[in-house]
Amino acid sequence: MASLYELKDLSKRYTRGKESITIFEELTMSIPQGDFIAIMGPSGSGKTTLLNLLGGIDRPSSGSVECEGVRVDKLSEGKLAKWRSQHVGFIFQFYNLMPTLTAAQNVELPLLLTKLSGKQRKDRVATALDIVGLADRKGHRPRQLSGGQQQRVAIARAIVADPKVLLCDEPTGDLDRASADEILETLQLLNKELGKTIVMVTHDPSAAKYAARELHLDKGRFIEAKAEPAQ
Partner 1 sequence: MFKQIGAVTMINLRSIPQRAGLSLATIISIALVTGVLLGFLAMSNGFRATLQGTGSDNVAVALRAGSQAELNSGLSSEDVRLIEEAPGVARDSEGRPLVSGELYVIVDGTKRASGTDANLPLRGVGPQALSLREGFEMVEGRMFEPGTNELVVGASVLREFSGFDLGETIRLGSNEWVVVGIFSTGGSVFESEIWADIAVIQNLYNRGTAVQSVRARLTSVEAIEDLRAWEEDEPRVNLDIESETDFFASQAGGTAVLIEFVGWPLAIIMAIGALAGAWNTMYSSVDTRMREIATLRAIGFSGFAAAVGTMVESLVLAALGGLVGALAIYLLFNGVSASTLGSGFTQVVFSFAVTGGSVIAGMVMAVVIGFFGGLVPAIRSAYVPLLTVHRSE
Ligand X SMILES: Nc1ncnc2c1ncn2[C@@H]1O[C@H](COP(=O)(O)OP(=O)(O)OP(=O)(O)O)[C@@H](O)[C@H]1O
Q: Please, which residue, 43 or 231, has the CB nearer to ligand X?
A: 43
x/- track of binding to ligand X for residues 8-47 (CB under 6 A)? ------x-x------x-----------------x-xxxxx
- Helices 147-159, 118-131: axis angle to 10 degrees equals 130
Cβ neighbours of 21 (radius 10 Å): 10
Q: Show Cβ contacts of residue 95 under 8 Å, excluding neighbours closer than 6 positions.
A: 142, 147, 150, 151, 153, 154
Comparing CB distances to ligand X, the nearer of 47 and 137 is 47
Instruction: Report d(CA 54, CA 7) in Å as an integer.
Output: 9
Q: How far is the CB of 159 from ligand X (least distance, A)?
A: 23
Greatest CA separation for the chain:
55
The b/e string for 165-180 (b: 16+ C-beta within 10 A; e otherwise) is bbbbbbbbbbbeeebb
- Fill in the per-residue mask, 46 to 65: x = in contact with ligand X (CB under 6 A), - = not in contact: xxxx----------------
91 lines the binding site for ligand X (CB under 6 A): no
**Interface with ligand X includes 208 (CB under 6 A)?**
no
Q: For the segment 90-109, give every residue that binds partner 1 (CB under 8 A).
A: 90, 92-94, 96, 98-101, 109
Interface with Mg ion includes 48 (CB under 5 A)? yes
Task: Give the H or E element holding residue 10.
Answer: strand 3-16
Closer Cβ to ligand X, 21 or 112, answer by number: 21
Q: Which is nearer to Mg ion, 124 or 216 (CB)?
A: 216
Identity of the residue, 48 or 106, whose beta carbon is nearer to Mg ion in the bound complex: 48
172 binds ligand X (CB under 6 A): no
Query: Whole-angstrom Cα distance, residue 130 to residue 132?
Result: 5
What is the C-alpha to C-alpha distance for residues 180 and 206, in angstroms, rounded to an integer? 10
Question: Least distance to partner 1 from the beta carbon of 230, Å?
Answer: 28
Size of the site for Mg ion (CB under 5 A): 1
Residues 18, 30: Cα–Cα separation, whole Å: 33
Judged by beta carbon distances under 5 to 8 A according to partner kind, the member of Mg ion, partner 1, ligand X, none in contact with residue 112 is partner 1
Distances (CA, A) of 221 to 39, 72, 111, 123, 174: 12, 22, 37, 43, 27
Write out the residues near partner 1 by the rule CB under 8 A.
48, 52, 55, 57-58, 77-78, 81-82, 84-86, 90, 92-94, 96, 98-101, 109-110, 112-113, 157, 169
Per CB under 6 A, residues contacting ligand X are 14, 16, 23, 41, 43-49
